[in-house]
Structure 1
Amino acid sequence: MLNCQRDLFSIPRDTAYLDAAYMSPIPIAAVAAGEAGVRVKAEPWKMTIASYYDEVEEARQLAASMVGADADDIAIVAATSYGMAIAAANLPVPTGSAILLMENEHTSHRYIWYDLAQRSGAHVDIVPQPADGDWTNAIVSAIRNSSRPIAVVAGTLVHWFEGMAIDLETVAAAARAAGASLVVDGTQWVGAVPFDVRRVRPDFLVFATYKFLLGPYRLAFLYADRRWHEAGRTLEHHSWNRVGGDKSDFYKVAVPDFLPGARRFDMGERSDFAVLPIAIAAMKLIRGWTVESVFGRLRHLNELVWSQAESRGLPVARPRHPTPHISILDIGDRLAASAAQELKRAGVHVTLRGTKMRVSPHVYNDEADINRLFESLPLR
């Protein structure tokens, strides 16, 4: 099993940071890379045209390796919501059809579909949270039993709020059988859970870097199925996603062709000299550990979370379909009203929403962090 990597991060020993699903810290090496990147803009006379391309392509390749894709399949975008807007700009949604969403889906993967439905004369149909926790069966049943033709299934591997796992391969098969497009939000798991996009084959998959990829804020990657590589509609038009943008006479060609693959979807000013190096350094670490090894460590730590809760007699019930890298414990009325403030004072960081506590460790956590959480947890 992968050992704790705490020494690669600037995390004090008296801090138990267990909130990667909110925002992860970035590794020390990534901080250094970002600082070097800032200095590029401080001395623009030293820049060459390679400054706009080399790191872009390195980041694209690394991002592709996280999901089993090819570099040509990946676009560099600003956020999950940006990638979802690209998907919405391309997918056919006929009048009277339905866009299928899980109940309480994250806003970056929700609002755009309401907007598209309103513009297209379509409907947003919500799959209610299943009482038995089986989101996969609930989504597949909703697809098969819909009274309307399904145009889009907006899916994910793990419900961001409930921490329940979804079998995306099964959902993808049902979506294809119904003639629906599949759009996936990977922000809450890419980098932490092994995934092969070739097995699921979504139309689009978007994942931001600031959570389990240990990267910067304001950066995401978009996977686009090859059916969208030749005719996909981009949100922005600029030189960097066009052929010849690296030439001194780029402005002479009226409308040059797009660069190959998903590069047509790249955002403007994609080669952010401070942001991209952070993502590259962080993804290099993950590639060195391997996603499989990261997953194994997180599964071990989350098993400790559940074991500690149960051994202390907390009224928690493990979900029937848990995601192994995040634990969401409903502690009910045992959780003190002042829990959030008291945990922070104790140097413990988790997400609390009502009676639910979301614990999301990463490779910088160890067994002592889990112990600290439960020793500091204020209960009634």
Structure 2
Amino acid sequence: MDCKKSHFQLDESVTYLNCAYMSPQLKVVEEAGIWGVQRKRNPFKISPEEFFGETDQLREEYAKLINAKDPKRIVVIPSVSYGMANVARNAPINKGDNIIVVGEQFPSNVYPWRSVVQEKGGEIITITPPKEHENRGKVWNEKVLNAINDRTKLVAMGNIHWADGTLFDLKAIRKQTREVGAWLAIDGTQSVGALPFDVSEIQPDALVCAGYKWLMGPYSIGLAYYGPALDEGKPVEENWINRYESENFANLVNYNDQYQPGALRYEVGEHSNFILVPMMLKAVQQLNEWGVESIQQYCRDLIAGPVEKLKAAGFKIEDPEYRASHLFGIRLGEGHDMGQIKSAFEEQNILVSFRGDSIRVSPNVFNTAQDFDKLVDALISN
């Protein structure tokens, strides 16, 4: 894959290595948003069928992206917290049970479980990373696997850690959860769209993603996959559009106590959003055209040389086996000063994120070798 910077309108004065914060807008996504705004000028042109048609297209495209066999297991959500709230409402947690999360997990994948244990009992077990840098990812994965036992009813985590890109072995974790009868709920916000994810292989009970990062969509829309374990559950929201046969507008006041079948019951009200859905659809179509494996390989090739230079200069970076290439953490070695590095980045318009003791770097297909030359020079000289 070649660089795709021409598909965006990034400010040339900025070295943007912070896609984990928010992706820049694809030109085709921006155009879809403008078109979505404009078409409401004449609302009589929006047919009842369009309340469902574009969402169905989005399901089908996203199903391709994550290799989901049934697009109707995918629903539109406004946020990760909303998607996880559906899981929390139906999770089989009782007194004496436990929920496993990892240390410093993103709050949207922690607060729902705190609410669950407060209401139903049980406890949250947090698996913190090892303090040592050597074999950090390997040991952290082992700690997660060793913590899953007969009392575990839910493991809730990301595919990678949002702060430093540590890669978790979801295949092994899913195997362990199956053995004890626990659910697996994954926040894929910082991985899906840039790191291959196969729902058919992992078979999570839930995969929940915000759309505005690696999926390259707009803010306030996301996508959730819900597996068979939630098919008979109760959604957090009672809206008309997730009711059975809601497609029949003439019959809406003949109230129906049945939900749409399976995962469709969990869709957010007004999921037909005539601005955000077309934008999200264009974004996912573009990702499918490029191919997620190609995106990850582009990032892998882009960072290979710079990572070796930084390691040689004493910086601590996880081994490739236990980190992603589109998002990784850099920790300081001796002789480098975080304050000076922050000042240098600010002076040179190098945009990254600082998370704990880690400098989070998150490139994508709009980045170039020159971007990393600037990053490496600023780090090594400070």
Which TM-score tier does this pair reach, normalised by the shorter chain? over 0.9
Q: 2:360 maps to which residue?
A: 358
CA distance in 2, matches of 1:61, 1:246: 18
Q: 1:258 maps to which residue?
A: 259
Is 1:142 paired with 2:141?
Answer: no
Counterpart AA for 2:16? Y
SS in 1 for 2:49: helix
Contact 1:26 1:282 in 2 (8 A): no
| 1:257 CA drift (Å) | 3.1
Q: After superposing the two structures, state which structure 1 stretch, 188-197 or 347-356, moved more.
A: 347-356
Q: 2:278 maps to which residue?
A: 277
| 1:318 CA drift (Å) | 3.3
| 1:217 CA drift (Å) | 1.0
Counterpart AA for 2:44? W
Q: After superposing the two structures, state which structure 1 stretch, 132-141 or 250-259, moved more.
A: 250-259
| 1:379 CA drift (Å) | 4.6
| 1:141 CA drift (Å) | 0.5
Contact 2:105 2:157 in 1 (8 A): no
- Equivalent residues in 2 for 1:72-151 (5 A)? 72-130=72-130, 131=132, 132-133=135-136, 134=138, 135-144=140-149, 149-151=151-153
Contact 2:48 2:249 in 1 (8 A): no
Question: Percentage identity across aligned positions?
Answer: 29
Contact 1:74 1:263 in 2 (8 A): yes
| 1:39 CA drift (Å) | 1.2
CA distance in 1, matches of 2:105, 2:290: 31
Counterpart AA for 2:56? E
The root-mean-square deviation of aligned C-alpha atoms, in Å, is: 1.9
* TM score, norm. by length of structure 1: 0.93
CA deviation digits over 1:98-152, x for unaligned, max 9? Answer: 11111111101111111101111111111121343222211111114xxx71111
CA distance in 1, matches of 2:236, 2:97: 24
CA distance in 2, matches of 1:155, 1:3: 32
CA distance in 1, matches of 2:43, 2:309: 54
Counterpart AA for 2:192? V
* TM score, norm. by length of structure 2: 0.92
CA deviation digits over 1:37-58, x for unaligned, max 9? Answer: 1112333232211231111111
Contiguous gaps of at least 5 residues in structure 2: none
Q: After superposing the two structures, state which structure 1 stretch, 93-102 or 129-138, moved more.
A: 129-138
CA distance in 1, matches of 2:304, 2:347: 25
Seen in structure 2, the aligned counterparts of structure 1 residues 321 and 243 have a Cα distance that, compared at 3 Å, is: same
CA distance in 1, matches of 2:141, 2:208: 20
CA distance in 2, matches of 1:10, 1:370: 19
| 1:176 CA drift (Å) | 1.1
Q: 1:49 maps to which residue?
A: 48
CA deviation digits over 1:234-291, x for unaligned, max 9? Answer: 1112221223323232333221532233111100011111111111111111100111
Contiguous gaps of at least 5 residues in structure 1: none
Q: 1:235 maps to which residue?
A: 236
